[in-house]
Amino acid sequence: MIASGRAGERGLRVLLLEKNKQLGSKILITGNGRCNILNAIDDEHMLLEKYGSSKQFLYSLFAQFGEKDAFDFFNSNGLPLVTEEYNRVFPKSQSAFDVVQFLTDYMHHGNVEVRTGCAVSGLQIKDGNIESILCGGEELTATEYIFATGGVSHPETGSTGDGYKWLKQLGHTVVSPTPSLVPLATKERWASELSGISLEDMKITFFVDGVKEFKLNGRLLFTQFGLSGPLILNSASKVSKLLPTGIVTAEIDMFPKIDIGNLERQIISIFDVNKNKTLKNIVSELVPAGMSKGMLVLLSEHMDIETKVHSVTKDDRKKIVNLFKALPITITGLMGMDRAIVADGGLALTEVDMKTMRSKIVSNLFVTGDLLHINRPSGGFSLQLCWSTGYVAGSSAGKKD
C-alpha cells in the first residue's frame, strides 16, 4: 500500500492487486488490533543493530526512509502517533483500522487503481523479465512490478508464500522460511489457567537441563497453549536452538523490581492483615491482577491452600516467595507457522539493490517487506521494514538505471 501510494504520488499509473476482499488484513491484527506501527529508536545505528547481520545492507535504505521519516510521514499527514513503553509507537487512536484507512487515502490521492479479490495465479516471463501476470483469468501487463505479498506468517491474512514461489521461478535464491517470532508451547496446567492474562515488565530466565542460558525482560502474555507477548516472541529464536540440546525450562519473575527479602516483607504485611482468612482467599492480594487463578493451581501443588493464614509455616511462606520470584515452567516447543508473528527466510539480500529495492536478476522487479531475508525482533521493527522498503520501491519504480 505504501509502495503503491508513493509511486502514484510521483505521477505513475499504478494498479494494486489484492487477493483478499479487503486491504490491510495483516495490519488489522498487529499489536492486538492497535498496530505497533514502528519503534521510536531515533539513533540509526542502535536501530539497525536490531536487524542483526542484515544491518550492513540497510544503511542506504534507512538513510532514504528511516524511523524519523516514517514517524513524520504518518504523524504529520493525519495519523497522530504516540510512543509507549520500549519505544513502541501506536496510532493515538489505538486503532489499526486507522492505519489501513490512512494508507487507503494515500493511494487514493495518488490515483492508484485497486482490485480486491484478485489473486495472481502466475507470471509470464520473457528474456529474464516479467512480461505479464495472470489474475482472475485476465493477463495484465506493466512496465515494472513490485512484489509486496508478505511471507508465510499468519497465512489467514493471505501471506501464503506466493511471493517466494515467484521469486524462485524468476531465478532468485530464497532461504527457506522458519518461524522466528513465535509463541512457545508449555506443559504446566497453572499457565493454561491464565489464558488471556498479560503482564508488563516480567523477567524470564531460560535453562537447559538446569543450566542458565539467558534472560530477558518485557511484556508477557499467557495463552491456552503456553506463552506469547513481546518478551516471549523475542526469545523464540534462541529457544529454538536450545530445544534440541536438552530439557528447556524457564522461570518467570512476577516481581522483577523487588528482591526476595522485600517481597517476603510485603507478603508478611498482607498476612498480618488477613490472619484469619484461608491462604486460598488472599492469593489475589499477593499477586498481580489476573494471576490468582493460575497461582492457586501452582500453590496447591506445593501446600494446602485451605490453611488459615496464621497457620502458614515459615517454610511455606518462603516457598511462596520463591515461587513468585521463579514461576517454574517447561517449554515443550515452538508453535507453528500459523501462529508465527514473523518468519525469517526469503530473498537473499545480495540479490537486491537495497538502495532502490530493484532485483539484481530481474530488472523490472522490486521486492519489499517480509519477502526479504531479514531477522528482526518484535516491537515495530517488521512494520518499519515494510514502510522503508515500500516507500523506497515506490520512489524508485519507473526510473531506469
Q: Confidence band (pLDDT; 50, 70, 90) for 377?
A: confident
Q: Are 187 and 160 contained in the same domain? A: no
Q: How many CB atoms lie within 10 A of CB 350?
A: 10
Average pLDDT estimate for 281-308: 93
Q: Are 318 and 377 contained in the same domain? A: no
Q: Are 202 and 93 contained in the same domain? A: no
Q: Are 190 and 325 contained in the same domain? A: yes
Q: Are 74 and 23 contained in the same domain? A: yes
| Cell numbers representing residue 31 in the block | 499489536
Give the Cα separation of 1 and 386 in Å (integer): 10
The pLDDT tens digits for 215-260 are 999 889 999 888 988 888 888 888 988 999 999 999 999 999 999 9
What pLDDT sits at residue 334? 84
Where in 263-391 does DSSP place strands (E)? 327-334, 342-343, 346-347, 352-353, 358-359, 365-367
Q: Are 138 and 237 contained in the same domain? A: no
Give the Cα separation of 143 and 363 in Å (integer): 10
What pLDDT sits at residue 339? 62
Average pLDDT estimate for 139-151: 94
Pairing of strands 184-186, 129-135: unpaired
Average pLDDT estimate for 193-201: 88
Print the domain residue range for 16. Answer: 2-179+343-396
The pLDDT tens digits for 127-137 are 999 999 999 88
176 pLDDT higher than 90: no
Q: What is the CATH number of the domain that holds 349?
A: 3.50.50.60
Average pLDDT estimate for 10-14: 97
Q: Are 191 and 322 contained in the same domain? A: yes
| Residue 401, in any domain of the structure | no
Q: Confidence band (pLDDT; 50, 70, 90) for 399?
A: confident
The pLDDT tens digits for 63-84 are 999 999 999 999 999 999 999 9
Average pLDDT estimate for 166-194: 87
Alpha-carbon torsion (157, 93, 77, 102), positive or negative = positive
163 pLDDT higher than 80: yes
Q: Are 124 and 268 contained in the same domain? A: no
Q: Are 230 and 353 contained in the same domain? A: no
Give the Cα separation of 158 and 119 in Å (integer): 10
pTM (two decimals): 0.74
Q: How many CB atoms lie within 10 A of CB 71?
A: 20
Give the Cα separation of 303 and 223 in Å (integer): 26
The count of domains in the chain is: 2
Q: Are 369 and 328 contained in the same domain? A: no
The pLDDT tens digits for 308-367 are 999 999 999 999 999 999 999 999 988 766 566 666 778 999 999 999 999 999 999 999
Q: Confidence band (pLDDT; 50, 70, 90) for 201?
A: confident
Q: Are 169 and 267 contained in the same domain? A: no
